[in-house]
Amino acid sequence: MNRLGRVSWPYRRRLIPIVLGVIALLGLVAEQSVSAAPHGEFSWPLQPRPTVERQFDKPAQDWLPGHRGVDLAGAPGQAVLAAGDGIVVFAGTVAGKPVVSIDHPAGFRTTYEPVQAEVSVGLRVGRGTRIGTLVVGHEGCAAAACLHWGARREASGHSRREYMDPLGLLHPTLRLKPVT
């Protein structure tokens, strides 16, 4: 600093790249937080916020053992809500269990089981829309009833179907790109 309290030119020259770098980094963080969930905001499918009884455990290959979703503690008869905007693509039973599946923009599908459906196939739902009620019957759950909530990215022209942790829809992972 000079005697007038101003930063002299050599110091300003060093500060400029730092300030520009911070601005670029903040721009990337803002861009990533918006684009991390390009299909809109997601919320918990049970309210109030449930405890997670069992975490996601992605198998190395689709046909190997794993846990392709999370188990959320609930109560029998509790309302199950659509986690995000989408279209109901399945409301029925699979292997004797009642299931609801919703397709979301950007190629995501969420599934909810065991859920007695209150929606029908083709219905457009918004985040927080009641899609059914939680029923007893999810094995291995310590709670009175558990919602198995799954998510996957559907296959596209350049990628395969991929199971993913649905909790990542609630708290997107930020990945910063290098500044060039």
Mind listing the pLDDT tens digit for each residue in 47-96? 999 999 988 877 776 666 566 788 999 999 999 999 999 999 999 999 99
In angstroms, the Cα distances linking 102 to 1, 18, 33, 51 are 61, 45, 23, 22
Answer whether residue 16 shows pLDDT above 80. Answer: no
Structure-block tokens of residue 121:
């196939």
The H or E element containing residue 143 is: none
pTM for this prediction:
0.70
d(CA 171, CA 43): 9
* Cα–Cα nearest to 79, from 119, 136, 133: 133
d(CA 154, CA 71): 21
pLDDT at site 126: 95
Please state the rounded mean pLDDT for residues 19-24: 48
pLDDT at site 34: 31
* Tens digit of each residue's pLDDT (9 = 90 or more) over 112-150: 999 999 999 999 999 999 999 999 977 778 888 999 999
What is the share, in percent, of the chain residues with pLDDT greater than 70?
67
pLDDT at site 20: 47
* Cα–Cα nearest to 75, from 125, 144, 161: 144
* Cα–Cα nearest to 125, from 73, 178, 81: 81
At 19, is the secondary structure helix, strand, or coil? helix
pLDDT at site 1: 54
Mean pLDDT, all residues of the chain? 78
